[in-house]
Amino acid sequence: MAPQDRRKSSLESDYYAHMDFDPEHQREVLRFYVPMFAEPAPDAADGKQGPVLEIGCGRGEFLGLLRDAGIQAQGVDIDPGMVAQARGEGFDVVEADALEFLHADPAPGPYQGVFCAHFIEHLTPEQVVRFLEGVHRVLAPGGRLVAVTPNPSCYAVLSHDFWWDPTHVRFYEVDLVEFLCRQAGFEVESSGTNPANHPGPPPHFQVAAPTVYPGVSDLVGSAMRKLAAAVESRRDGEGARQREGAPAEGAPPGPEGPDPTWAYELGHVVNVLGERLQESTQALRELRGAYDNLLWGLYQGNETFVVARR
């Protein structure tokens, strides 16, 4: 899609209405980024925050958060439906193609911050390059860009969430965004995932930790010692009675009495089974740990961000 093909359309606002996206949830997710604009740029003449330009501002959820934080802000969006909703909330929003706006309308350097959330995935790589050139143009020296985009490392996003939106073009992995920012003359400060937008794996994919019972070796050892003591005591008693000429009670003929070998063998079998059960339980715990690592590795945060300075 060439830049000149980015015509005004209400497709995005119609899609939002169809999906019934909750604006309060959007605000909770976007609130994570407000502190990134709470301090003025190093070269700000008046030492104050803002103004911040939001690209693809949509209904104005982030503009509202900036307003609540006392930060001056302006938005630009190409969708007439989005612009109407944002203006209806009292926000300063320009209805225009963002790329054209960045390269034509504002004088160079009027903004201390530029923010875009889920915008660059609507662009081709060539358009992203032009977008970053435009952001570099309108940012004041030391001004900050925060670019947020869907995380392709999250399975839910990669497999279906991303493809719900008919205006999405492609993914931009965080390393690629960092590279493109540096190519455009920015200094990358940080990047990561938004913890406020990390629902994690579906509950039915998660499993409880296996129950680990204590081993039986101590119990078997204690039982064997008691058995040995009982056998020894019985033998002592039998020996005393035999010296007195009385037969051992309930004992078969002979000086030894009942043979305890079977009890020792049974104790050994139980001990071996207990050890193998412990080994199996430990293997199950390790398997569960590997499964958790795989599951949470697949279900990372839904969006990534890159923070860069001009």
Asked whether residue 134 carries a pLDDT value surpassing 90, the answer given is yes
User: What would the DSSP string read from start to end of 114-181?
Assistant: EEEES-GGGS-HHHHHHHHHHHHHHEEEEEEEEEEEE-TTSHHIIIIIHHH-TT------HHHHHHHH
257, pLDDT greater than 90: no
- Listed ranges 8-22, 38-52, 240-254, 291-305; the one with the highest mean pLDDT: 291-305
pLDDT at 66: 96
The answer to whether 32 and 38 have CB atoms below 8 angstroms apart is no
pLDDT at 46 over 60: no
Overall average pLDDT of the 272-288 stretch: 85
pLDDT digits (tens, 9 = 90+) for 164-219: 888 899 999 999 999 999 999 999 999 999 999 998 888 888 888 877 777 777 77
Question: What pLDDT is recorded for position 221?
Answer: 77
What confidence score (pLDDT) does residue 255 get?
A: 47
Of residues 104 and 187, which shows the higher confidence score?
187
Is the per-residue pLDDT at 226 higher than 60? yes
Starting at the edge strand found earlier in the chain, the sheet holding 139-150 runs 93-95, 73-77, 52-55, 111-117, 139-150, 303-309, 187-193
Q: Quote the DSSP letter at residue 78.
A: S
Residue 225 clears pLDDT 50, i.e. is over it: yes
CA distance 310 to 308: 7
- Please indicate whether residue 120 or residue 222 has the higher confidence score (pLDDT): 120
- The answer on pLDDT for 260 being more than 80 is no
Query: pLDDT confidence of 282, banded at 50, 70, 90?
Result: confident
| pLDDT greater at residue 149 or residue 7 | 149
Residue 86's nearest CA partner among 114, 115, 63 is 63
Higher pLDDT, 297 or 262: 297
* Residue 143, pLDDT above cutoff 70: yes
What is the C-alpha separation between 95 and 102, in angstroms, rounded? 13
Query: Which pLDDT score is estimated for 1?
Result: 37
Predicted TM-score (pTM) of the model is 0.74
Of 2 and 274, the one with more pLDDT:
274
